[in-house]
A and B are shown apart, each in its own frame.
Chain A
Amino acid sequence: MGEVNIVKLHGIGANPYSKRVEPALRIKGIPYEFIEEDLSNKSQLLLKSNPVYKKIPVLVHNEQPVVDSLIILEYIDETWKNAPQLLPDDPLERAKVRFWTSFIQQQLFEAMTRVVTCDGEIQAKAIDEVQGKMKVLEEGMKEVFPGSGSPSIDGDNLGLLDIMICSTFSPYKAYEEALGVKILDPERNPLVFCWVKALNELPLVKELYPPHDKLVALLKVVRENALRVSSST
């Protein structure tokens, strides 16, 4: 080997998109420097690395920037080919992982964002949407993990879907407390619930996520800010 690999991750500690990249770097044993960005005062490096969207996370590998959390994850998998692999080898299985990753991002995550940032009828509709999509996800995951009740979680062998599920649902208790909304229900979504519980037991996940009280406080702040902005426009 003997290659020099300087890896910097521009992100925000509690941000779920940043939280997708860090587990991948850690489980592959890739040393990196985390640079906390202030979105009200974006660094020159961030603006230069992501001129189109000016968003985090940005992975800078030997001064080359890679943007968008899901694109970063595929880049990590293709550049550091050591185990664990984030995507399976088989093209059909890879297509399934990409399909469900896209579903979680576009259908679920965005509806969940509306649950946090909206109120009244818009929030009520978003909650219905999330619950409907959770049902679809539950059915879909039964196909991806046929047979037993839930996927077996190995902290050293997490894949892309584990990372997506974790970054989206890990703080489910905080959502419940901050918003009074049940996103993940053990009776309605038994497979995903067990999966998230198992992920939350991993030392890596406990290390990466702020404690429950801090997450609740953070969600409340995000919600207050969003509601204030929308009521003043």
Chain B
Amino acid sequence: MEQVQLLGMWLSPYSYRVIWALQLKGIAYEYIEEDLSNKSPLLLQCNPVHKKIPVLIHSGKPICESSVILEYIEEIWPQNSLLPCDPYERAIARFWIKFADDKGPIVWKICGTRGEERQKVIEESLEMLKTIEEHGLGDKKFFGGDKISMVDIAFGGLAYWPGVIEKVLGRNLLEAHKFPRLHAWTKNFKEVPEIKENLPDFGRLLKRQT
């Protein structure tokens, strides 16, 4: 019997990417919560280069970096596929996954900044969200069409973090009339049973930011 372990952390949307992929494919795994202020010998041994989560350990072999892990999961367990078959469609999917990796993190910086810097970060975040709204989503249910895919998983943090940020800021960030597609996507994404059952607790997230 293959052994699958996931070293993760509840605050990290990258950790949740891997959880969602495993859940969507029906893969049994052992989840190990890491204390990042006191990293385990296992984490340091499995990811000596970056010492970061998530790390997937499959039959004793570690795979690091969430985007690399997602591609690995897709190749090892092809059921309920998370990438299209066509190479061009796959290239488009990978483009948006990379966009989520490169540009997505600006949103997490909002709560940690103040004053002028915070305003700058908010503006950059809105630009990033506008790009997704105008170029990424279209009028489909999910990024890739009618079915949830790796791109939705890569952007999954956007389905719950803006709500937390808005509570901290005391104002709307992702206004429905300005971002109708993102709003619709958030609802569709969170309704997928494997996602709905695997989201971090809102109250706990909010407490961490305040």
Contacts and interface: CB of A to CB of B under 8 A. Distances in A.
Interface in B170-191: none
Given A66-B91, A78-B87, A95 B49 contact: no
A64 B88 contact: yes
Chain B: number of interface residues, binned into ranges: 20 to 34
B64 A71 contact: no
A99 B68 contact: yes
Contacts of B87: 75, 78-79
A103 interface: yes
Contacts of A72: 91
Interface string B60-80: 010111011101100110000
Contacts of A67: 95
A208 B192 CA distance: 49
A5 B107 CA distance: 41
A98 B135 contact: no
Q: Per DSSP, are chain A's interface residues mostly helix, strand or loop, or mixed? A: helix
Contacts of B91: 66, 71-72, 74-75
B90 interface: yes
Interface in B34-92: 49, 58, 61, 63-65, 67-69, 71-72, 75-76, 87-88, 90-91
A91 B72 contact: yes
Of the listed residues B76, B90, B135, the one surrounded by the most CB atoms of chain A closer than 10 A to its CB is B90
A52 B135 contact: yes
Of the listed residues B68, B99, B131, the one surrounded by the most CB atoms of chain A closer than 10 A to its CB is B68
Contacts of A61: 88
A91 to B, nearest CB: 4
Contacts, number: 58
B71 A94 contact: yes
Interface in A31-90: 51-52, 61, 64, 66-68, 71-72, 74-75, 78-79
Contact of B72 (A66, A74, A95, A102): A95
Contacts of A75: 87-88, 90-91
B106 to A, nearest CB: 15
Given A52-B131, A52-B135, A75-B88, A95 B94 contact: no
Given A75-B90, A98-B65, 12 more contacts: A61-B88, A67-B95, A68-B95, A74-B91, A75-B91, A91-B75, A92-B58, A92-B61, A95-B71, A98-B67, A98-B68, A102-B65
24 contacts: A51-B135, A52-B131, A66-B88, A68-B94, A71-B94, A71-B98, A74-B91, A75-B87, A75-B88, A75-B91, A78-B87, A78-B90, A79-B87, A92-B58, A92-B72, A95-B63, A95-B68, A95-B71, A98-B68, A98-B71, A99-B63, A99-B64, A99-B68, A102-B68
